[in-house]
A and B are shown apart, each in its own frame.
Chain A
Amino acid sequence: MALDGLSRRDLLRIALGAPFMGLAPRLLSGCGPGRGVPEGELLDFGRARAHAALRDSRGMTLANMPADIARERRGVVVVGGGVAGLAAAWRLVGEGGLGERGDVLVCELEDVVGGTARAGRSELSAFPWGAHYVVAPFSEDRAMVRLLGEMGCFEGVDRHGHPNAAEGAAVRELEERHFFEGRFSAGLYPGDGETAEEKAERERFGRRMDALAGAVSARGRAFTLPVSQVAEVDGVDAAALDRMTFAAWLEAEGFRSWRLEWLCDYACRDDYGTSAAACSAWAGLLYFIARRRPEVGLEDRAVITWPEGNGRVVEHLARQVGATRIETGAMVLDVEADDAGARVLVVDRAGRARVIACDSVIVATPRHVARHVVRAYREAPPAWMDAFTTAPWVVVNLHLSRRPETVGVAQAWDTVFIGSASVGYVDAQHQRGRDHGPTVWTWYRPLFEAGEVRKQCEAVGREGWVEAALSELELGHPDIRRCVVRADVGRLGHGMVRPVPGLRRHLESARVAPHPRVRVAHTDLSGVALCEEAVDHGLRAAEEVLAARGGDVRSWR
């Protein structure tokens, strides 16, 4: 019968005016605690166990294990349960089992699978801890078409044969908004107050991207996803683009508008965790071009997302693989192989070590993990190894009791703040269609700056990162502190591979298997961290294993 607390308070404010508000009992206040940092937890993704393993298990290898160590037989062991590892297992399982030589086992260090695509869940909402969207693939990316098709993300194909994102799968409008000069506006480009000159430059940039998107040769495209389908095209010097930074390319092309510069820098930080000044021009252009096609009207492809982000993809893959083929909390310390077979040294959740003998191993970890795990890498580190560097990320999940106030455009999936070091936040409930009430906002901050950022990332505790997030969001949402009921922080010390200039030329060598029985798969082998790439490498490694076993393997790629 009576109105709830908030509306009463509002009514008081309206009826009585500010001078009388002191009379209103504090009880009538509608939101949670207004001061101090809200409670929550700090997650350090894999760090504790991985670093402890490095420290404590030094010297613990397959070579010096006691003779009575537990032994087990498997067909294929996949090291790492992120998207690449799960995609590899999905492919192997999809082949109809591996026969009498044993099944697949995925070993994941953490307690949950997903890697940087994992999701969290609370009473309020499911929410992402990392990657949170995929772009609707073109028909040539058969792996993603298959995967997202299984997940029910498409409805029919367009007249070029490209799948159409289903209405409930494609991100709901409004997709993006930005905060600039005191208000929110639609889109990512800060267009308020744009001069004629800046406008002309923006349009020229669009035309330049369109031209590059149309750069096709008989063998394929200059820029596309997955990058394994990239082909040499006359007029696009990929090697030269890989040597220079994206910032230098923009400069050389005469793009000087701060607005455009901001957009490009944001794009690099958002997708790659690096600034435009540290990102290769090739990777920077890939961001803008891989999702454009002249024949589909040069419109950007639809973005597909879920409340829990790419955690949905992880969940689907894990279900297809089957729980019995996945072991979490399983730390792989050593991988070696010879002509007779491969062996994997695993320490399980309870701390018991065992050796798994198998036909093949797929090492689906990033390079900085593989170099410690794979014996061949340990003993003779390849020259390309040091070319791989990673960017740390901090993710703050803000659990809100209600939506904070906004000025300007309301309700978007992705919100960015112009001029900020963060890449903004996504609203977990947007895609569900819930525009009011509780939700979770996931705020992302790549530590793209030069120097000892990993130490910085660790030195700043949970409260520090929550404060960093809140003081930024407060600019556009003055009452946010009164809406936050919980704030969890995830620190991803090695969040993403950094596509720095010069990395691309090492990728081919890095993809080469260290041994015919030890295959490698991970998105970092593409030099960029993208779901499409992780899936592509997972399938490639799995199909390499299948091919080695002989028989007719029809590729899913």
Chain B
Amino acid sequence: MGDVARDAEGGREVGREVAAAYGPRRVPLLFLNVVIIAVCGLVYELLAATVSSYLLGDSVTQFSLVIGVYLTSMGLGAWISRYINMRVARGFCEVQLLIALIGGTSAPVLFFVFGLTGKVAVVLYLEVTVIGALVGLELPLLMRLLEKDLQFKDLISRVLALDYVGALFASLLFPLVFVPMLGLVRTALLMGFVNAVVGLWATSLLRFELRPSARASLRVRGVILAVALAVGVIKAEALTEMAEERVFRDPIVYAESTPYQRIVVTSAHESFQVYLNGQLQLDASDEYRYHEALVHPAVAALGRPLRRALVLGGGDGLALRELFRYPQVEAVTLVDLDPGMTSLSRRFEPLAALNRRSYEDRRLTVVNEDAFLWVDGEAKDGREAAWDLVVVDFPDPNNYGLGKLYTRHFYQRLRALVAPGGRVVVQSTSPLAVNRSYWTIIATLEAAGFVVHPMQVTVPSFGVWGFGLAGVGDFAAPRELGAPEAGGRFVPEGLRFVDSEVMRGMFVLPRDMARVEVEVNRLDNQILVRRYEAEGERWR
């Protein structure tokens, strides 16, 4: 105890010297530190909450939990501060550098861990606890450093006022500037950098309270950390996803380059969006319109019971969700090229929740292969025409690799796999925006020997969208919803968009989407890719 008293006494003595040396400037500068520290602290909290809601889903729970854990940890830090009795200045600087290191790398580490393991909760809450505790430790230490210069009531009012002002800055900067302009990773790195600079600055402001050796050590580490984080901020800009953040309107929450494509998930308006190679595949807020229209009319048109279904493409699992609404479905095979996509749909919480964990359904078989080769192989093996329903849900034909999945050759092979009375429904681009492309797909299906009923539906994030409902041999467009079964029809529950009347409307195409005479798309001409490219031009 005697030591402490002496230390405190000594500190006050030094403080007076310092005050004399700095004059009135030292105190305002330390208060500026308070504001900056407050901004950084709150940004880390918001970062953690955002990342957790992106990666773990359920934003209300995640935000609430992160804030709770963070505040509790701050309390823990404040409580711990009482045990730091000696070298308060050094402690303050050390805490600054630690926050810079852990906070600055928080978002990168979370994405790293998520990429590595697919699980992030443990690391996330560990980080939130440590950062919260360090931030909680920071203010008491700073106040103790300032207590030499100010009266207690002044000190407490100013420090707390400035802390809350900093919080306001942070809460405005984070959504309006940091996330849209920098993205999560660079925001974290930038905050870390700022913390490191504050730490370095503090070694200068508090130089009389620090031993020369401690000061040197702190400065060396501070400089290394600041430089590393600054390089991180700058270099990150050169990365592809940063360019993408400018392309995509909304903040990127997940990005991955698989050997097959680039998958990007963005988040906005209480919803999220999935892009493949820059092309919007779904928006969680209105995808139900698309997927209900894709699956249920085709089921209703079946000329046989629905037992076995084949999904080509559709790795998001949302067509599966609609199929699994029918208890009579016995087996579904999904063929999607990219294990990165199917794996994301299974373990990326928001998407897994959206597809109602269809990937966990025991009736499902997933095949990660190019559907073109898979269908070719099945047809060559002389497999029985065994599929009652085939859902063809590929991205738009914007390159030759996708274009081959819209050719007569492919549809001919596919036709051989469809059971008598079975139906095929094909995602066919927009009959309004790319009218000729849409009709090329329909004409190609017909050239392959299918009877086709054109369909259209409105999906706000896509616009007017089109499908082709195809079957071998003549069949009528469905009038009543539901899967045919002995003694009637089974109509699934929980549909938000389709009913029998709406469905009947889908088979009516307004005049501005009327049929045009077009050439058939073949492997050796791939006119669809060029046509789609040319027609799509004016919509970009």
In B91-126, the 8 Å CB interface with A consists of: 107-108, 111-112, 114-118
Chain A neighbourhood of B526, CB < 8 A:
172-174
Could you give, for residues 220-240 of chain B, a 1 whenever the CB lies within 8 Å of some chain A CB and a 0 otherwise? 000000001001100110111
In the complex, whether B327 has a CB less than 8 A from a CB of chain A is no
Could you give, for residues 497-514 of chain A, a 1 whenever the CB lies within 8 Å of some chain B CB and a 0 otherwise? 000000000000000000
CA distance A165 to B409 in the complex (A): 13
Q: Could you tell me if A433 and B373 are in contact, using CB atoms closer than 8 angstroms?
A: yes
Instruction: Report which of B112, B370, B400 forms a contact with A173, defined as CB distance below 8 A.
Output: B400
CA distance A453 to B201 in the complex (A): 71
User: Which residue of the partner chain A has the closest CB to B399?
Assistant: A410
CA distance A434 to B403 in the complex (A): 12
Q: Are A2 and B117 also in contact (CB < 8 A) when A11-B256, A435-B401 are?
A: yes
- Distance between A158 CB and nearest chain B CB, rounded to angstroms: 14
Q: Could you tell me if B239 and A14 are in contact, using CB atoms closer than 8 angstroms?
A: yes
- Distance between A252 CB and nearest chain B CB, rounded to angstroms: 36
User: Which residue of the partner chain B has the closest CB to A23?
Assistant: B112
CA distance A195 to B400 in the complex (A): 29
Chain B neighbourhood of A15, CB < 8 A:
107-108, 111-112, 115, 185
Q: Could you tell me if A170 and B524 are in contact, using CB atoms closer than 8 angstroms?
A: yes
In the complex, whether B488 has a CB less than 8 A from a CB of chain A is no
Binds A, one of B22-30, B335-343, B452-460: B335-343
- Distance between A185 CB and nearest chain B CB, rounded to angstroms: 14
Chain B neighbourhood of A2, CB < 8 A:
116-118, 343
Q: Could you tell me if A7 and B404 are in contact, using CB atoms closer than 8 angstroms?
A: no
Chain B neighbourhood of A165, CB < 8 A:
524
Binds A, one of B66-74, B149-157, B257-265: B257-265
Q: Could you tell me if A167 and B108 are in contact, using CB atoms closer than 8 angstroms?
A: no
In the complex, whether B347 has a CB less than 8 A from a CB of chain A is yes
Chain A neighbourhood of B112, CB < 8 A:
11-12, 15-16
In the complex, whether B144 has a CB less than 8 A from a CB of chain A is no
- Distance between B464 CB and nearest chain A CB, rounded to angstroms: 28
Q: Could you tell me if A17 and B185 are in contact, using CB atoms closer than 8 angstroms?
A: yes
Q: Could you tell me if B524 and A434 are in contact, using CB atoms closer than 8 angstroms?
A: no
- Distance between A416 CB and nearest chain B CB, rounded to angstroms: 18
Q: Could you tell me if A6 and B373 are in contact, using CB atoms closer than 8 angstroms?
A: no
Instruction: Report which of A14, A19, A172 forms a contact with B523, defined as CB distance below 8 A.
Output: A172
Chain B neighbourhood of A8, CB < 8 A:
115-116
Chain A neighbourhood of B399, CB < 8 A:
410-411
Could you give, for residues 160-178 of chain A, a 1 whenever the CB lies within 8 Å of some chain B CB and a 0 otherwise? 0000010110111110000
Chain B neighbourhood of A11, CB < 8 A:
111-112, 114-115, 255-256
Q: Are A20 and B108 also in contact (CB < 8 A) when A6-B258, A402-B259, A436-B337 are?
A: yes
Q: Are A433 and B372 also in contact (CB < 8 A) when A8-B116, A410-B399 are?
A: yes
User: Which residue of the partner chain B has the closest CB to A168?
Assistant: B409
CA distance A403 to B261 in the complex (A): 12
User: Which residue of the partner chain B has the closest CB to A401?
Assistant: B259
Chain A neighbourhood of B523, CB < 8 A:
167-168, 170, 172-173, 433
Q: Could you tell me if A172 and B401 are in contact, using CB atoms closer than 8 angstroms?
A: no
Chain A neighbourhood of B525, CB < 8 A:
173
Q: Are A17 and B340 also in contact (CB < 8 A) when A10-B256, A174-B526, A433-B404 are?
A: no
Instruction: Report which of B255, B346, B401 forms a contact with A410, defined as CB distance below 8 A.
Output: B401
CA distance A10 to B189 in the complex (A): 19
Q: Are A173 and B529 also in contact (CB < 8 A) when A15-B111, A17-B108 are?
A: yes
Q: Could you tell me if A1 and B256 are in contact, using CB atoms closer than 8 angstroms?
A: no
Q: Which DSSP category, helix, strand, loop or mixed, fits chain A's interface?
A: loop
Q: Could you tell me if B524 and A302 are in contact, using CB atoms closer than 8 angstroms?
A: yes
Instruction: Report which of B259, B408, B524 forms a contact with A6, defined as CB distance below 8 A.
Output: B259
The A/B interface has a contact count, at CB < 8 Å, of 130
- Interface residue total, chain B, C-beta cutoff 8 A: 50
CA distance A436 to B369 in the complex (A): 10
In A401-453, the 8 Å CB interface with B consists of: 402-403, 410-411, 432-437
CA distance A168 to B241 in the complex (A): 38
Instruction: Report which of B114, B116, B259, B409 forms a contact with A436, defined as CB distance below 8 A.
Output: B259
User: Which residue of the partner chain B has the closest CB to A169?
Assistant: B524
Q: Could you tell me if B235 and A19 are in contact, using CB atoms closer than 8 angstroms?
A: yes
Q: Could you tell me if B239 and A13 are in contact, using CB atoms closer than 8 angstroms?
A: yes
CA distance A402 to B259 in the complex (A): 8
CA distance A379 to B347 in the complex (A): 80
Q: Could you tell me if B260 and A436 are in contact, using CB atoms closer than 8 angstroms?
A: yes
User: Which residue of the partner chain A has the closest CB to B231?
Assistant: A19
CA distance A165 to B524 in the complex (A): 9
- Distance between B449 CB and nearest chain A CB, rounded to angstroms: 13
Chain A neighbourhood of B403, CB < 8 A:
173
CA distance A443 to B255 in the complex (A): 35
Size bin of chain A's contact surface: 35 or more
User: Which residue of the partner chain A has the closest CB to B524?
Assistant: A170
In the complex, whether A18 has a CB less than 8 A from a CB of chain B is yes
In the complex, whether A295 has a CB less than 8 A from a CB of chain B is no
- Distance between A74 CB and nearest chain B CB, rounded to angstroms: 39
- Distance between B326 CB and nearest chain A CB, rounded to angstroms: 28
User: Which residue of the partner chain A has the closest CB to B110?
Assistant: A15
- Distance between A461 CB and nearest chain B CB, rounded to angstroms: 33
User: Which residue of the partner chain A has the closest CB to B371?
Assistant: A433
In the complex, whether B81 has a CB less than 8 A from a CB of chain A is no
In the complex, whether A4 has a CB less than 8 A from a CB of chain B is yes
In the complex, whether B203 has a CB less than 8 A from a CB of chain A is no
Chain A neighbourhood of B346, CB < 8 A:
1
In the complex, whether A3 has a CB less than 8 A from a CB of chain B is yes
Q: Are A434 and B373 also in contact (CB < 8 A) when A3-B340, A402-B259 are?
A: yes
In A6-56, the 8 Å CB interface with B consists of: 6-8, 10-20, 30
Chain B neighbourhood of A168, CB < 8 A:
409, 523
Instruction: Report which of B232, B240, B404 forms a contact with A20, defined as CB distance below 8 A.
Output: B232
In A503-545, the 8 Å CB interface with B consists of: none
Q: Are A433 and B259 also in contact (CB < 8 A) when A19-B228, A167-B409 are?
A: no
Instruction: Report which of A4, A18, A167 forms a contact with B239, defined as CB distance below 8 A.
Output: A18
Chain A neighbourhood of B347, CB < 8 A:
1
Residue among A1, A171, A433 facing the most chain B CB atoms (10 A cut-off): A433
In the complex, whether B499 has a CB less than 8 A from a CB of chain A is no
- Distance between B100 CB and nearest chain A CB, rounded to angstroms: 15
In the complex, whether B266 has a CB less than 8 A from a CB of chain A is no
In the complex, whether B407 has a CB less than 8 A from a CB of chain A is yes
In the complex, whether B147 has a CB less than 8 A from a CB of chain A is no
Q: Could you tell me if A17 and B239 are in contact, using CB atoms closer than 8 angstroms?
A: yes
- Distance between A184 CB and nearest chain B CB, rounded to angstroms: 12
Instruction: Report which of A17, A171, A173 forms a contact with B236, defined as CB distance below 8 A.
Output: A17
CA distance A13 to B232 in the complex (A): 11
CA distance A434 to B375 in the complex (A): 12
Residue among B231, B240, B256 facing the most chain A CB atoms (10 A cut-off): B256
Q: Could you tell me if A167 and B524 are in contact, using CB atoms closer than 8 angstroms?
A: yes
Chain A neighbourhood of B111, CB < 8 A:
11, 14-16
In the complex, whether B12 has a CB less than 8 A from a CB of chain A is no
- Distance between B266 CB and nearest chain A CB, rounded to angstroms: 14
In B388-405, the 8 Å CB interface with A consists of: 399-401, 403-404
In the complex, whether B356 has a CB less than 8 A from a CB of chain A is no
Q: Could you tell me if A14 and B240 are in contact, using CB atoms closer than 8 angstroms?
A: yes
Q: List 13 A-B contacts (CB under 8 A).
A: A2-B117, A3-B256, A7-B340, A11-B255, A14-B255, A14-B256, A15-B108, A16-B232, A17-B236, A18-B235, A172-B524, A174-B400, A410-B401
Interface, chain B (partner A; CB < 8 A): 107-108, 111-112, 114-118, 185, 189, 228, 231-232, 235-236, 238-241, 255-260, 337, 339-340, 343, 346-347, 370, 372-373, 376, 399-401, 403-404, 407-409, 522-526, 529
Interface, chain A (partner B; CB < 8 A): 1-4, 6-8, 10-20, 30, 165, 167-168, 170-174, 302, 402-403, 410-411, 432-437
Question: Sorted from nearest, which 9 A-B pairs have the closest CB atoms?
Answer: A15-B111, A11-B115, A170-B524, A173-B526, A435-B401, A17-B236, A10-B257, A167-B409, A433-B372
Known: A11-B115, A19-B228, A410-B400. 13 other contacts (CB 8 A): A2-B343, A3-B115, A7-B256, A10-B256, A11-B111, A15-B111, A20-B232, A165-B524, A167-B407, A167-B523, A172-B404, A173-B523, A403-B259
